[in-house]
Amino acid sequence: MVTLSVIKADIGGFVGHSESHPDILDLGREEMERAKQRGLLIDCHVSHCGDDMFLIMSHERGEDSEEIHRLAWDTFQKGTELAKKLKLYGAGQDLLVDAFSGNIRGAGPGSAEMEIEERPSEPIIVFLADKTSAGAFNLPLYKMFADPFNTPGLVIAEGLHDGFAFEVQDVRDHLKIILNAPDEIYDMMIFLGAPNRYAVKRVRCRNTGEIGAVSSTDKLSLIAGRYVGKDDPTMIVRCQGAFPAVGEVLEPFTTPFIVEGWMRGSHHGPLMPVSLADAHPSRFDGPPRIVALGFQLAEGKFVGPRDMFDDPGFDHVRAKANEIGDYLRAHGPFEPHRLPLEEMEYTTMPVVAGKLASRWKSLEEEAAG
């Protein structure tokens, strides 16, 4: 068995919240390499999307391994020290606790892990997103694993025909439920359609129970109880054979669907699929974007990555995302570009409401004279 662990955090932006500094990524690579040398990791790949650094690791220690989580935590801490020296923006922003207590979950960084029996050929895609939040993967996961208009394999490939089981988490009340596609898609959709509250954590093959996808569902603001930046999620998807083909896994991103995030984590914007070369949001701190890194696993080693959205086939989506971005931006501070009051990460509402409280007059009293 091999475990894939992707653990990510924003530990400082260059410039502002737009990109990761190359020295921070180099530090991440050195720390991962050292862990490989001492036998803790089989292999590793360090990458980024915007101001988030993603540690993509393979090992034999299973999910929730204290050693692996500690390695990620220590790497982010060392990266934070360097970020402070370079005076990068928001240094250490996602490290929400003072001391590591055995598991990275609840400490700020996002994580997605899966333990698998490596197949004779094991193509995987790791998605890295910035300026959006956990739940952004509900729509693409549904399309990949439950929608025959996206994934013809659900209809015409035997391995996929019996459908997939979705583990849906209620990120506010910390509950989970397993719902089966295709039988329960109408029930499932009532939850998946509200990605702010419900997020798909895992998808498994109903026949074999094998894991097909896992995403990070950590919500920073729910951990800290206040705004601390967006969750900028990650996910791992296995492809081919009993799972959707690579092209079926990428196809949902041909629609620049609307996600929460963008400027100040408080706006709706289109999710733009980009190559690594374009993984640095700047326009209005966005638009939200996603990178797809493809690997073939070979005895736990990462052969790759291939930069999957580096393809003219995604040019139309990007152009459309820009058009949608312009259209939404024209709304300025109005909903639905701006998030509803209760979902905004930044708000001056309590202060403004407090200041103006005495000036509100009752409509009933006025009518009564």
> Binding partner of residue 244 among Mg ion, ligand F6R, none, CB under 5 to 8 Å per kind?
none
Residue whose Cβ sits closest to ligand F6R: 285
Burial class (CB in 10 A: 0-12, 13-18, 19+), 348: exposed
The whole-angstrom separation of Cα 247 and Cα 262 is: 27
> Binding partner of residue 52 among ligand F6R, Mg ion, none, CB under 5 to 8 Å per kind?
Mg ion
Q: Which of residues 163, 229, 300, 325 is near ligand F6R by CB under 6 A?
A: 229
Count Cβ atoms below 10 Å from residue 364 Cβ, excluding itself: 7
Q: Nearest distance from residue 332's CB to ligand F6R, in Å?
A: 16
Q: Which stretch binds ligand F6R (CB under 6 A): 98-106, 263-271, 298-306, 312-320?
A: 263-271
Q: Does 204 bind ligand F6R (CB under 6 A)?
A: no
Residue with tokens 């609840």: 106
Q: Does 285 bind ligand F6R (CB under 6 A)?
A: yes
Say whether 350 sits in a helix, a strand or coil. helix
Q: Does 263 bind ligand F6R (CB under 6 A)?
A: yes
Q: Does 90 bind ligand F6R (CB under 6 A)?
A: yes
Task: Give φ, ψ of 66 to 5 degrees.
Answer: -60, -40
Q: Which stretch binds ligand F6R (CB under 6 A): 104-112, 146-154, 259-267, 294-302?
A: 259-267
In terms of DSSP bridges, do strands 272-273 and 289-298 run parallel, antiparallel, or are they unpaired?
parallel
**Nearest residue (CB) to Mg ion, 97 versus 178:** 97
Residues that bind Mg ion (CB under 5 A): 10, 13, 17, 50-52, 90, 130, 232
Q: Does 182 bind ligand F6R (CB under 6 A)?
A: no
**Nearest residue (CB) to Mg ion, 232 versus 248:** 232
Which H, E and C letters describe 284-341, residue by residue? CCECCEEEEEEEEEECCEEEEEEECCCCHHHHHHHHHHHHHHHHHHCCCCCCCCECCH
Of 199, 187, 214, 197, the closest CA to residue 139 belongs to 199
Q: Which residues are catalytic?
A: 10, 227, 230
Site residues (CB under 6 A) for ligand F6R, limited to 4-63:
16-17
Task: Give φ, ψ of 44 to 5 degrees.
Answer: -160, 155
Q: Does 241 bind ligand F6R (CB under 6 A)?
A: no
Q: Nearest distance from residue 76's CB to Mg ion, in Å?
A: 13
The whole-angstrom separation of Cα 66 and Cα 160 is: 34
The whole-angstrom separation of Cα 156 and Cα 203 is: 20
Task: Give φ, ψ of 214 to 5 degrees.
Answer: -145, 140
Q: Does 219 bind ligand F6R (CB under 6 A)?
A: no
> Binding partner of residue 265 among Mg ion, ligand F6R, none, CB under 5 to 8 Å per kind?
ligand F6R
Q: Which stretch binds ligand F6R (CB under 6 A): 99-107, 194-202, 260-268, 358-366?
A: 260-268
Footprint on this chain of ligand F6R (rule: CB under 6 A): 16-17, 90, 131, 229-230, 261, 263-265, 285
